[in-house]
Structure 1
Amino acid sequence: MNVVYYRYFKEDIPFHVDDSHHPIVLNPRKCPALESEAGEVVRALEHPIDSPRLKDIVKPGEKIVIVTSDISRPMPSWVALPCVLDELGKAGVRDEDVTVVFGLGSHRKQTEEEKKRLVGEEVYNRVRCIDSDPDDFIHMGTCKNGTSVDIFRTVAEADWRILVGNVEYHYFAGYSGGMKAIMPGVSSRAAIQSNHRNMIKEGAYAGNLEGNPVRDDIEEVYQYCPVDFILNVALDENHHIAYAAAGHHVKAHRKACEFLDSIYKIHIDHPADVVIVSTSGFPKDINLYQAQKSIDNAKHSVKEGGIMVVAAACKEGFGSDVFAKWIMQYDTPDDRIKAIHEHFELGGHKSAALALVEKKCNIYLVTDMEDDLVRKANMTPFHNLQEAVDAAFAKMGKDASCYIIPDGGSTLPMED
C-alpha cells in the first residue's frame, strides 16, 4: 500500500504495510463542510436546544463563570469563547463580571502562556482566566452512590454557570462533554475518585450512555450544582469544529454525541491480527495517561492474542505520579487489575484500564519514553514506527490481517 503518515506529537512520521495483509484503514466519515467554525458556534448559540438563548438568560452585574477544557483536550476554545462573550455582551454583561475557568480535574496546573494559547490573546486580555483548584472547593451535596459534590469555589459561587467543551469518546464515561466539565472538571480529588470508582461497574465503556454508572453519577451532580447553559462541539479529523450544539445540559450534549457517532463510530466485521493506531498527535500523545484513551478505543478492533502498534510520543512520560506509581509497583497486568478492585485510586484506574487491554493483546509502543519504563508498563518499546510495524507482522505471520486507525483518540471501531 502507499505510505501512510501518522501524527506523532507535532510532526508526521511515515510507515507502510504490504498489500498481502489487505490493510483496511478505519477513517472517520467525512464531516459536512463548514464555511466557518465560528459561524457554526454562532448558529448553535442562536438556536439553542430546549433552552432560551444565553443572552436571554443572564443578567448584567452578576458573576458568570465559563468552564472550558485544559491543555490536555483538543477543544478550540479560542474559536468558541469569543462567540460566547459576544452573546453575553448582547445581554449587557461586562467583561469584568466573567471568569473563564479551565477544568483541570486531576491534571497539572497550566502556565500563563498555555492559558493564553487555549483561549486566544483577545479573550485572555479581556476576561479573567484561571485554573480550577481541586483543593479549594465548596461542598454542595452528595450523590446517591456517595460521590461528594465538592466544586471549585469560583464555580460554586457563580450566579451563572456555562460549560464549553468538545465531545469525544471516553473509555468509561461513554463520551466527554456535558456535565463532565463539572465532574470531574472542577471537582475535588476525593470527588473525582469516588465518581471514577464506578468505572469497574457494568455499562461503563466508550460510546455508551444508557445505564452507564459513571455518566449517571456525573449528571446527578446537576441537582446540587446546576448549570445554566452548555456549548458542546464535535471536531473533524483536523481538530476543527464540525458541529456545535448549545442549550440544555443533557439534550444539547446528546445531540453532539449523535453527530459524533455519525462520523466516528465505525462498524467492523471482525477484529484484526494487527492494529496500527495513532493518537493523532499532540495533545493526545503528550503522555501515556492521555494516550491510553486511544489504546482503549482501538482495543475493540484487535483479536485476542493480536498486536496493537501504538504511535504516541509521551514526551511527558507517564503524565501522572499516581499512574506512574501503580505501573512501577505492580509487575503484571493481572496484579494491577486485582489491585484496583481491592483499593480504587484515581490515577491507578488508568493502569488497570491499560492492563485490561494488555490481557487481550500485545502492545508495541512507538514512543520517546525510556525503554525500561515502557517494559515496566508491560509493553514493548520501539522508537521507529516502521520497525514496530514490521516486527508485528513478523510475529503474526504472512496471512495476518490489519486495521490502520489514524485517529485512535476519536475513532471507535465496533462489531455491533
Structure 2
Amino acid sequence: MKIELKYGEGIQIAEIPDKHLKGVLLPEEEQGRRTEEEEIADALEYPIGTERLRDLVQPGHRAVIITSDITRPFPSATVLPFVLRELEAGGIPRENATVVFALGSHRTHTKEEMARLLGKKLWGQVSCRDSDPLDCVRLGTTARGTPVDVTRAVAEADIKICLGNIEYHYFAGYSGGAKAVMPGVSSWEAIQNNHKLMASDQAAAGRLEDNPVREDIEEAGRICGIDFILNAVLDRNKKIAKAFAGDAVKAHRAGCRYADRVYRRRVDGKADIVVVSPGGFPKDVNLYQTQKALDNAAHAVKRGGIIILAGECREGVGSPVLQKWLTEAETPRKVLERIAAEFELGGHKAAAIAGVQEKASVYLISELPASVSQAMFFIPARTVQEALEEALDIMGKDASVLVIPSGGAVFPYTTENG
C-alpha cells in the first residue's frame, strides 16, 4: 500500500507491503458537516455556559483577543472577523480591540507572519502584537504557587477573549481553553512553575480530572478573568470541523468530548513499527513541535519497537535548551534522571523525547543535519521509505506496521494505555 505523509508543505511517500500493514489510523470525521463559517457563527450565537459575547460587553470597553501563534494551525484569519463583528454588535469598535498572539515560550513573529495570521482583510485595520513575557502584570498566585503574570495588554483589558484549537496535549490533557493565558501570555517564571507539575502521573494526554497542570491552568484563567472563549476542533486538513464558544471551562469541555469522538482511535494491539507524521506545517515547524506526534506514536508501539517520525523541522530544533539537554547526555536515561533532579523549560521537552527513546528506537526524517539528529539519540534517514526498509530488516518478516498520518492530533489507545 502506498502511504502519503505530510512533510512541511510537501509529502513523504512510503510503500508498505500489505502483509506488514496493521492499519492506517485516521480521525473519525463526520460526513456532510457545516462550513467553517457556519460553525463559527453558530458557536457565537449559541454559547455554552455564558451569555452571548455581544451581551457581555459594553460600549467603551477595551477588548483583547488572545489567539495562537505561527506554530499552531488555528485559523485565526477565518475566526477573527466573526469575533470582531460580535464585539461591534455589543458596542466595541475595532479600534478598541487588540489581537495578542500567544507566544508562550516560543519566538516572536515577523511582520509578515503577523499579517498572515491576521489575514489580508484585517491587516492594518486591527491592532495586533505578540505577548511579552518580560512585560507582565502580576494578578495573583494559584494554589500551587504559580504566579499569574499576564502580558500587560491582556491584564489591562476590560474584556478578555481566548481563541485556539483543541487537541491532545501530552501533559495538559488537551490544548485550548485557558491554555491561551497559561502559558500563552504568561511570564517565564509562571510557565516554568506550571510546567513543573508535568512530573505527576495524572499529567497526561486526554486527562482533565485531577490533572495538576490543567487545574493550575484553569485557576490562572479564573484569576486573569477570561470572559469568553472560542475553540475549534480541526480536521486533518486543518479546517474547522466543530466550533465551541462560551465559558472557559464548560465550552472547552464540550470541545474535548468532541475531540475524543474524532481523534481518540482504538488500536487492536501495539505495532512493531509505527510510521508517524505530525501532519505537516506548522505542526512540524521544528523539533519542539514535532515532539507531540512522537509522544502520541509512543502509545501505539511495542517496547523495543521502532518509530519512524517524519517532521520537516524547517526552523531546526526550536529550543537551544532542548538541544543542549539531549546532546549533553550520555544516554536518554540520563536526561530522565536530570529532569527528576531539576526542571528547566525546554528540558521538559528533552525528557519527553528521551522517555520515548527509552522505549523504542526512533528514526527521524527531517531537515536537521544528520550529526545533530544523532547527537540527540535519533537515527537519521533521508526518506520514510529508507527508514521503513531498514526497520523491516531489523524487526523481521512478521513485523507489523501502523501508520498515523495526523500524529499531532490522533491519540491511539489500546487496552494497555486506556
Instruction: Give the alignment's TM-score, normalised by structure 2.
Output: 0.98
- Whether 1:23 and 2:22 are equivalent positions in the alignment is yes
- Measured in 1, the distance between the counterparts of 2:163 and 2:105 equals 18
Quote how far apart the aligned CAs of 1:367 are. 1.1
- Aligned-pair distance for 1:31? 2.8
User: Pairwise mapping of residues 99-118 of structure 1 onto structure 2 (< 5 A)?
Assistant: 99-118=98-117
Aligned-pair CA distance for 1:207: 0.8
Per-residue Cα deviation, 1:306-347 (whole angstroms, up to 9, x for no partner): 000011111111101221221222121111111111110011
- 2:67–2:163 CA contact under 8 A, matched in 1: yes
- Aligned: 1:94 with 2:93: yes
Partner of 1:373: 372
Structure 2: distance between partners of 1:4 and 1:361: 22
| Contact 2:267–2:413, Cα closer than 8 Å, also in 1 | yes
2:310 is the counterpart of 1:332 = no
Once the two structures are superposed, residues 188-232 of structure 1 have per-residue CA deviations (whole angstroms, 9 ceiling, x without a partner) of 001001000011112111111111110011011133211000000
State the secondary structure of the residue aligned to 1:60.
coil
State the alpha-carbon separation in 1 of the partners of residues 201 and 141 from structure 2. Answer: 22
Distance 2:94 2:31 in 1: 34
CA distance in 2, matches of 1:22, 1:215: 37
Q: Distance in 2 between matches of 1:176 and 1:32?
A: 25
Q: What's the counterpart of residue 255 of structure 2?
A: 256
Distance 2:257 2:124 in 1: 35
Cα contact 2:174–2:206 (8 A) shared by 1? yes
- Map of 1:385 onto structure 2: 384
Q: Residue 314 of structure 2 aligns to which amino acid in structure 1?
A: K
- Per the alignment, in what secondary structure is the counterpart of residue 70 of structure 2? coil
- Structure 1: segments with no counterpart, 5+ residues: none
Aligned match of 1:288: 287
Aligned to 2:343: 344
| Alpha-carbon distance between aligned partners in 2 of 1:331 and 1:243, rounded to the nearest angstrom | 45
The amino acid that maps onto 2:155 is A
Residue identity matched to 1:114: E
Q: Secondary structure at the match of 2:293?
A: helix
Q: CA deviation at 1:147?
A: 0.7
Aligned partner of residue 19 in structure 2, secondary structure: helix
State the one-letter code of the partner of 2:190. Answer: A
1:183 corresponds to: 182
Partners in 2 of 1:272 and 1:12 — Cα distance? 23
Equivalent in the alignment of 2:159: 160
What are the within-5 Å matches in structure 2 for residues 273-284 of structure 1?
273-284=272-283
Match runs of 1:196-235 below 5 Å: 196-235=195-234
SS in 2 for 1:305: strand
**8 Å Cα contact 1:331/1:376 also seen in 2:** no
Q: 1:233 offset after TM fit, Å?
A: 0.4
Contact 1:279 1:285 in 2 (8 A): yes
Matched-pair contact (CA < 8 Å) for 2:36–2:239: yes
| In 1: Cα distance, 2:239 partner to 2:221 partner | 29
Deviating more after overlay: 119-128 vs 252-261: 119-128
1:48-81: per-residue Cα shift (whole Å, max 9, x none)? 0011000000111111000000000000011111
Please list the CA deviations of residues 16-48 of structure 1 after superposition, one character each: whole Å capped at 9, or x if unmatched: 111121331111112343342011101000000
Do 2:182 and 2:221's aligned partners in 1 also have CA atoms closer than 8 Å?
no
| Superposition deviation, residue 91 in structure 1 | 1.1
Amino acid at match of 1:69: S
Aligned to 1:43: 42
Contact map agreement 1:198 1:213 (CA 8 A) in 2:
yes
C-alpha offsets along residues 234-270 of structure 1, whole Å, 9 cap, x if unaligned?
0011000000010000000011111111010001121
How many Å separate the matches in 1 of 2:265 and 2:14?
Answer: 23
Aligned to 2:206, the other structure's residue is in SS state: coil
**Percent same amino acid among aligned pairs?**
49
Q: Secondary structure at the match of 1:274?
A: strand
Rounded to whole Å, the distance in 2 between the matches of 1:252 and 1:163 is: 11
Deviation at 1:121, TM superposition (A): 1.5
Deviations 1:152-176 (A, max 9, x none): 0110011010001100110100000
The answer (yes or no) to whether the contact 1:272–1:303 under 8 Å persists in 2 is yes
Whole-angstrom CA distance in 2 between matches of 1:99 and 1:182: 15
Counterparts of 2:144 and 2:67, CA distance in 1 = 27
Contact 1:32–1:242 (Cα < 8 Å) also in 2 = no
Displacement of 1:402: 1.3
- Shift of residue 349 of structure 1? 0.2
**In structure 2, distance between residues paired with 1:65 and 1:402:** 47
SS at match of 2:124: helix
Q: Write out aligned runs for 1:226-245 (5 A).
A: 226-245=225-244
User: Would you say the 8 A contact 2:326–2:332 is kept in 1?
Assistant: no
Mapped to 1, the partners of 2:32 and 2:287 lie a distance apart of 33
> What's the counterpart of residue 62 of structure 2?
63
Note the alpha carbon deviations across 1:74-115, whole angstroms, 9 max, x for none.
Answer: 000111111101111111211110000000000000011101
Report the secondary structure of 1:255's partner residue: helix
Matched, 1:74 2:69: no
Q: Check conservation: 2:22, 2:271, Cα contact below 8 A.
A: no
Contact 2:229 2:247 in 1 (8 A): yes
Which residue identity does 1:330 align to in structure 2?
A: A
| Paired residue secondary structure (1:309) | strand
- Partners of 1:324 and 1:306 lie apart in 2 by 24
Equivalent pair of 1:267/1:413 in contact (CA under 8 Å)? yes
- Distance in 1 (alpha carbons) for counterparts of 2:32 and 2:374: 43
Q: In 2, are the aligned partners of 1:31 and 1:236 still within 8 Å (CA)?
A: no
Distance in 2 between the 1:125 and 1:39 partners? 26
CA RMSD of the aligned region, Å? 0.9
Instruction: Give the distance between the partners of 1:163 and 1:157, measured in 2 at CA.
Output: 15
